[in-house]
Amino acid sequence: MAEVRLEGVTKSFGGKVAVDNLNLTVEDQEFLTLVGPSGCGKSTTLRMICGLERATEGHIFFDGKPVSWLPANKRDVSMVFQSYALYPHKTVRQNIGFALKMMRVPKATVSEQVLQAARTLDIEDLLDRKPRELSGGQRQRVALGRAIVRDAGAYLLDEPLSNLDAQLRVLMRAEIKRLHVDVARTFIYVTHDQVEAMTMSDRIAVMRDGVVQQCATPEEIYERPANRFVASFMGSPPMNFVTGELADADGTRTFRSPALTVPLTGPTSPATLPDDPRVVLGIRPEDVTLSAAPVAGHHPGKVFVAEPLGPDVLVTVRIEGELIKARVPTPFRLGHDSTVYVGFTPNRLHLFAAADGTALHAPEREEHS
């Protein structure tokens, strides 16, 4: 069991700050994902938790006990690397049991724990093979087996699925999520893939330039992003953004840009106008509606491209120089350059400050019965 807490953790490399004053608590048995673009500091954070990197400043605690100065082999963690890091000359059985052997665990115990890990991951029939005889998905299972064979308090996974093809990634996401439930331990997972983060996590910490932008549940991250960066990074396809100004006209608060004029009423409108009226309107593609016929309050545009996605179609519409993406159900019959009328779900609009991207308003949370 392990609660992992980071207090004021900073890591610099040659004067360049990779992680900046990070404060984060991972609850016991929680699945927390660090997500962000390449170079944002997420893998460095994981390596500091593991003990492979030493923090320049700050403190790391496991279950309230300081571990910042402990070497990696003295910390109660087990790590899965992006490259699998399997010994090519050893069998699957030997790879999984290697750490236990180095800990001088009795052979009978090693054999029993290796077999148990292999059964958990459904690789029992692969135990006598070498890594070169395995597929990518099988190698990933072996790497996971090598981690879980140790009864560690926390399991750290650094982009473990990035070398797999799309179909295997989906399969292994489910396997890792099930594994987390089975072993009932703390998981800290690093990825640049927001789909992995959304589907697997109890909470997500979105990082940028070494700073956590927001840490919350997947639902909160998606529905109420703290800033424009989080809103743009989390979501596939990403949120639409249109820069304009807020104004009060005839008793109605309105967003205006060269392309759009959108009334903001009821819960969609922020309580007060910001000092700087320049704002960015954010609209998720699934909150954009399209009509072939004119509709009151809709904006005329031209179909730029339509991309079939199976049950949905991703349609990009050009409105006065702005490109707006809409995710609509099939069938969608309008072709390139056809006129289409674009509307937005009124209570699903986001507003961000144009100056720094801070969220000014997010949709009200919907209650589900």
Q: What is the mean pLDDT of residues 259-274?
A: 73
Domains of the chain: 4-227 (3.40.50.300), 237-361 (2.40.50.140)
Cα three-residue angle 295-293-285, rounded to 5 degrees: 70
| pLDDT (0 to 100) of residue 162 | 82
Summarised one tens digit per residue, pLDDT across range 92-143 is 999 999 888 888 889 999 999 999 888 888 889 999 999 999 988 888 889 8
If phi > 0 it is left, if psi is from -120 to 50 it is alpha, else beta; for residue 46 that is alpha
Structure tokens at 92: 């699957």
pTM above 0.95, yes or no: no
Confidence of residue 368 (pLDDT cuts 50, 70, 90): very low
Axis-axis angle for helices 136-148, 107-120 (nearest 10): 130
206: number of Cβ within 10 Å: 27
Summarised one tens digit per residue, pLDDT across range 142-187 is 988 888 888 889 999 998 888 778 888 888 888 889 889 988 999 9
Which H or E element spans position 294? none
Confidence of residue 369 (pLDDT cuts 50, 70, 90): very low
Q: What is the mean pLDDT of residues 330-336?
A: 91
Q: Rounded to whole angstroms, how far apart are CA atoms 30 and 1?
A: 10
The DSSP result for 52-93, as a single string, is SS--SEEEEEETTEE-TTS-GGGSSEEEE-TT----TTS-HH
Residue 311 pLDDT > 50: yes
Q: Rounded to whole angstroms, how far apart are CA atoms 279 and 288?
A: 19
State residue 292 phi and psi, 5-degree precision. Answer: -80, -20
Summarised one tens digit per residue, pLDDT across range 223-234 is 999 999 999 999
211 or 166: whose pLDDT is higher?
211
C-alpha gyration radius of the chain: 25
Confidence of residue 266 (pLDDT cuts 50, 70, 90): low
Confidence of residue 323 (pLDDT cuts 50, 70, 90): very high
Residue 73 pLDDT > 90: no
